[in-house]
Structure formats: structure tokens, C-alpha cells
A and B are shown apart, each in its own frame.
Chain A
Amino acid sequence: MLEATGVAAGYGRKRIVHGVDLAVGKGEIVLVLGHNGAGKTTLMRTLFGLLPAAEGTIRYEGRDIAGRRPAENVADGIAFIPQGHGIFRTLSVRDNLDLGAFVEPDKSLLPERLDTVFRMFPILKERASQIGGTLSGGQQQMLAIGMALMHAPRLVILDEPSIGLAPNLVDKVMEAIAYINRTMGTTILMVEQNVKYSLPIASRVAVLKTGRKIYDGPPDPLHDRVELMKLF
């Protein structure tokens, strides 16, 4: 579904990602692990089009998407949930969800999608008129995921959805991600630091170290703490 080959990217002259290959198959949950500064966020932002790729090719469903603007990628079924506050903090929960479907040309589909989001996260329905920035961290993350679902993406790229959340909430967020993948067939590409909670839902894992990929394969060997420590 998504195939990146030899992608290099960075900020200004500073190169952070060096020639990374990454393939995400349809229906997979691909987990990207790595320590701080390994280039995980930079890679995700480049794949989504927020940063230009200095080198390499990015193909999505067979089409070359390197150099496309985020707006085009969103319209083509890719959603990106950034690290931290992936919401509009001064707007209401409902306005946020409506904006999530900004690129959807067929507005008649929205009530049903809104229903799906509310069924998945009932707290968002309760707080529909509350200002986004006043929600708790976990609720903000649910809202960010809900916004992405409002335009029914085929691929969701998540950048550390567990950051700053209490362990029980991390578990809930991971459950929601697995549920979306299972019931809607949405392909997931997710960056995480929280190995304990993210590894169980992954179908494949890539590990980055100082901007290079050092592991790509099934998650099972990484359940072994010693194997994992070797990679970090």
C-alpha cells in the first residue's frame, strides 16, 4: 500500500533520515520503534508530505506521491495524527470532528461516520460542545483519532499516540487502533516508544537508529527483552 525506498529527509541542511526503505502492506499495523532522535517523526512527516524528501521515492497504492502536498494526500485517503495535540484546541469537539471531514466532498456520509466515532468514543458525544483544549490528554487523543476517521482514510499514520498518557489510557488507545484496523480494514503505520503496549497489536516492526533502519520483521523476536535491548 505504501512503499518508501531510500528516503532521506531532514530540516534545512541537517539530514535526519538516511536512505530508509519502508513498506506497509494493505491491512497491516506496522510499528516503527526507535530511541529519541532516531528520525521516526521526521520519516512520518516526510511520508505524509509535511516535509520534502531530499532523496528516494514514496509510492502509495502504486502512485508516486513524493512531493505531493498534505492536502492531496488527505484527499487520497491518508490521515496523519501528529504527536501531542492533533486537534484544534480553541474549537469545540464537534467543530473538530466536522473539520476532520474537511476534504470529504459527499457530506451525506458524515452523520454515519460521526455515529461510528461516537460509538467508539462515547465521551466525545457527551463533550461535543466542549472546547477541545479543555479535554484531558486521553480525550484529546481520542478526538484526534476521531477526526482522522471522519474522512474514512485507508491509511492512518500515527506519531506516538501514547505520549503523555497514563498506562490505562495507553491501553485504551492501542485497543482503539487495533479495533479500527480490524473492523474497518484501515492500514496503520505507527511510531511508538511505548513498546510494552504497542508491540502486541503490531503485525510488523521496523526499528530506526540514528536515521537508519536496523530491523524490519515480525514483532515476535522483540518480545524477548534481550533481543530488543540489542536493537536500542
Chain B
Amino acid sequence: MDLVLQLLVNGVINGSHYALLGIGFGIIFGPTRITHFAYGPIFAVGAYGCWASVAWLGLPVPAAALAGVLAAAGVGALSYLWLYRPFERRGSSHLVVLIASLGLFITLENLIGIVFGTDTKVVPGLSPDIFLWGPVVVTSIQLWQVAALAGIALALFAFLRRSRHGKALMAMTDNGEMAQIIGIDTVRVSLTAFAVGSAVAAVPAILILLKEGATPHMGFIAVFMAFVAVIVGGIGSFRGAIIGGYAVGIVENIGMWKLPTEWQSTIAFVVLFLILLFKPSGLFGRRVR
């Protein structure tokens, strides 16, 4: 029973991580409909931006984390302006944009490897606190993962409901052409979506850096899990991405109760397949017209 409780707690922690990844990915995919695979290495840019600020510039971790977030937001915004926007202007098909995104994925991942090396980077002198709650063990960084989701979700909810940019983003997620028709500058909204979504992705990336270190390939599993969270929760639904993330995190960890750990990623795949088969619009999805 103790094991199940620990797995459940781990599920909630991993679920928070996946939910954050899903929210960031969803904020970009919702309005732009761009399958932004390069979200993976931009996630890694957040972690490396933080690491470099600590190791090379000697900044304290909170300031370095902010630098990482800004670095990811900047690279995300540039990826839209320099790569996706020219394709959009030309009216290229989704497939062309998808291939361009994969190209950017490989380029950015290799660039990170060239600049920082391929070994695992850890933040020196960091020892997270460990808490024992009855039979359950958690670390301070794991608690940060849960808190980060709560904080960012609330902030984004306020942004989407209250701010002009947020409302424009919601409108464009619903119907891009109608957004244009009522006078929304859709290029500016796309740029905002890329900057905000990438900034959101940097937060779980930095927490992974602090937890287990960063590698140039860390973005692959991140974009994959983000994709799963969004599909399971339902495209275009903010709440869906959170619930999708938690569903995958909890199912994956509870699965560890009876299955060896190497099956963990496979469980996420199985959940994805089942949702695509039986509820293609996702748990909270709106049918995409």
C-alpha cells in the first residue's frame, strides 16, 4: 500500500511536469496550428540558459532561472519569425511546416551539443531538501514542480481571460479566420503565443536541470510528453492540457506498480493510442472543424 501511495505522489509530480509541458505546447499549437516539434530543443534552451548563467556568469539560481526563461522565449519567438512565418506567408501545407519544424529540432539540438558539449550539465553546489511524510518521500524540487504548475496555470488563466492579448489568443484558437475578420493582428498573436509558450516550457526544463541535470537530448521526451498531454486532454483546451498531463503522469506511475520501469514511456504511448482510437477529440477537446 505504501508503494502505491508513493507511486501516486510521483504520478502527481510527473503529472504536474507533463501538464506544464502540455500548457506551453498547447498555447502555441492552439492559435497557430503549427506542430512545433522544435518545442523540444527550445525547452532545452531554457535549461541551458539557466545553467550557463550560473556556471559562466555566476548568477544566483533564481536570476539564472529568469535568464533561462527569457532565452527560451526569445528563441521561441525567433523560430516563428524566421522559420514558420515565411512558410505561413507562402501558404505552405502543414506537412511542409512539420518537416521544417523537425529540421529546426535537429539543428537546435546539435547547436546545443556543439556549444555546451554532450555531457550532462548539473548546477554545482545544489542539494535539494528531502521530506519524509509518513511512507512518502518527496524532494523540494518535486514540490517546486507542483507549485510551478499551480502558479503558472493561474497566471495564464488570468492572462487569457483578462488581457487583450489573451482574449485575442483564445479567439484565434477557436477560429483563425474569424480572428482576422474582427481585426485581430494574427501575426502578433502567433508571436505572443510562441514567446509565452516557450517561456512556460523553460520552467519545467529548469526544474529538470536542478533535479537531474541537462543534456542536449532532453527535449525529445519533453515535446513527446507535451504532445501526449495535449492530445489526451483535447486540442484547444487549457484545462484539457492540465488534466491530460495529470492523467498520463498518474497512469504511467501507477503502471510501475506491476510493470518494470522500462515500460514507463510505453504506457504513455498506450494511453495516447487509446484516446486517439476512442475519443479523438481528447477528454476536453472541441471538435476541430
Could you tell me which A residues sit within 8 Å of B by CB distance?
12, 48, 50, 69-71, 74-75, 80, 82, 85-91, 95, 98-100, 102-103, 133, 147, 151
Contact of A151 among B175, B177, B183, B236 (CB under 8 A): B183
Asked if B182 and A102 make an inter-chain contact with CB atoms under 8 angstroms apart, the answer reads yes
Asked if A88 and B183 make an inter-chain contact with CB atoms under 8 angstroms apart, the answer reads no
Q: Which of B77-85, B164-172, B242-250 contacts A (4 or more CB under 8 A)?
A: B164-172
Asked if A99 and B175 make an inter-chain contact with CB atoms under 8 angstroms apart, the answer reads no
Question: Does B185 touch A at the CB level, under 8 Å?
Answer: yes
- Cα–Cα distance between A86 and B182 once the two chains are bound (Å): 10
Contact of A50 among B164, B181, B184 (CB under 8 A): B181
| A75 cross-chain contacts in B, Cβ below 8 A | 183
- Cα–Cα distance between A98 and B182 once the two chains are bound (Å): 10
Contact of A89 among B91, B164, B174, B182 (CB under 8 A): B174
| B182 cross-chain contacts in A, Cβ below 8 A | 74, 99-100, 102-103, 147, 151
Asked if B184 and A102 make an inter-chain contact with CB atoms under 8 angstroms apart, the answer reads yes
| A69 cross-chain contacts in B, Cβ below 8 A | 180, 185
Q: Closest residue of chain A to B182, judged by CB?
A: A102
Given A88-B171, A90-B236, A91-B170, residue A50 in contact with residue B177 (CB < 8 A)? yes
Question: Does B94 touch A at the CB level, under 8 Å?
Answer: no
Task: Output the least CB separation between B181 and chain A (Å).
Answer: 5
- Number of residues from B at the complex interface, CB < 8 A: 18
Within B150-200, the residues touching A (CB, 8 Å) are 164, 167-168, 170-171, 174-175, 177-178, 180-185
- Cα–Cα distance between A91 and B166 once the two chains are bound (Å): 13
The total of interchain contacts (Cβ-Cβ below 8 angstroms) comes to: 60
| B167 cross-chain contacts in A, Cβ below 8 A | 95, 98-99, 102
Asked if B171 and A82 make an inter-chain contact with CB atoms under 8 angstroms apart, the answer reads no
Question: Does B286 touch A at the CB level, under 8 Å?
Answer: yes
Asked if A71 and B174 make an inter-chain contact with CB atoms under 8 angstroms apart, the answer reads no
Task: Output the least CB separation between B237 and chain A (Å).
Answer: 9
Task: Output the least CB separation between B217 and chain A (Å).
Answer: 37
List 4 additional A-B contacts (Cβ < 8 Å) besides A70-B183, A82-B178, A82-B181.
A89-B174, A102-B164, A102-B184, A147-B182
Q: Closest residue of chain B to A87, judged by CB?
A: B178
Q: Closest residue of chain B to A86, judged by CB?
A: B178
| A98 cross-chain contacts in B, Cβ below 8 A | 167
| A102 cross-chain contacts in B, Cβ below 8 A | 164, 167-168, 171, 182-184
| B183 cross-chain contacts in A, Cβ below 8 A | 70-71, 74-75, 102-103, 151
Asked if B236 and A70 make an inter-chain contact with CB atoms under 8 angstroms apart, the answer reads no
- Cα–Cα distance between A100 and B167 once the two chains are bound (Å): 12
| A74 cross-chain contacts in B, Cβ below 8 A | 181-183
Task: Output the least CB separation between A43 and chain B (Å).
Answer: 16
Task: Output the least CB separation between A104 and chain B (Å).
Answer: 9
| B174 cross-chain contacts in A, Cβ below 8 A | 88-91
Shortest beta-carbon contacts, A-B, top 4: A74-B183, A103-B183, A88-B174, A71-B183
Instruction: Return 17 A-B CB contacts under 8 Å, by A number.
Output: A50-B181, A70-B183, A71-B184, A74-B182, A86-B178, A88-B174, A88-B178, A89-B174, A89-B175, A89-B286, A100-B182, A102-B164, A102-B182, A102-B184, A103-B182, A151-B182, A151-B183
